[in-house]
Structure 1
Amino acid sequence: MNATPPAYELLFQALHLQGRALSFPCDAEGHVDLDGLPEQARLNYLYARVVVGHEFAWPVVRAVVLH
């Protein structure tokens, strides 16, 4: 039986707006393939990294359940 490897996302949770977050596909170590992201997602990722500690919490890597 071939098991599908788990997928991961890098999650930036908003500090001031409950329920707001940005997430991006990544590997188990949290590395995001910037070249594989659509332009708007790439801009959102770069923005989230710049405002960590001000608008977003430090990102966490979490497994994503694929259906």
Structure 2
Amino acid sequence: MAASLENSMDLQLNNPKPREARDPRETSQFELRFQSLFHTGKALAFPCNARGDVQLDALSAKALENYLFARAVVGREYAAPLVQVCEA
């Protein structure tokens, strides 16, 4: 029984499900916003969907660097991110 469970898990890890096709419009209406804790008006914002999922592969290298930095310093430099509707 344990061997079949291990084989099943191995198959799942080696054969991930393909990602769902994403509509670019899905991420254009919302942004994930990290507000600075110390500088009023300073924030980092990234396009996301309504659930706050950011398409990392769609970000530029600098935007990806900023996104990963903001996530790493939540509570020290930036507040927890909020999903907001983008302003037109």
TM-score class normalised by the smaller sequence: 0.7 to 0.9
TM-score (norm 1): 0.88
Superposed CA deviations along residues 11-55 of structure 1, whole A, max 9, x for unmatched, are 000000111000000000000000000000000000000000000
- Structure 1: gaps (5+ residues): none
Cα-Cα RMSD: 1.6
Larger radius of gyration: 2
Asked whether 1:7 is paired with 2:29, we answer yes
Q: Say how many residue pairs are matched.
A: 63
Q: Which runs of 4+ in 1 moved over 3 A?
A: none
Q: Report the counterpart of residue 54 of structure 1 in structure 2.
A: 76
Residue correspondence of structure 1 range 10-25 to structure 2 within 5 A: 10-25=32-47
Amino acid in the other structure paired with 1:44: N
Which secondary structure does the structure 1 equivalent of 2:62 belong to? Answer: helix
Higher-strand-fraction structure: 1
Greater RCO between the two (CA within 8 Å, min separation 6)? 1
Give distance in 2, aligned partners of 1:44 and 1:33. Answer: 14
TM-score (norm 2): 0.67
Give distance in 2, aligned partners of 1:52 and 1:60. Answer: 12
- Structure 2: gaps (5+ residues): 1-24
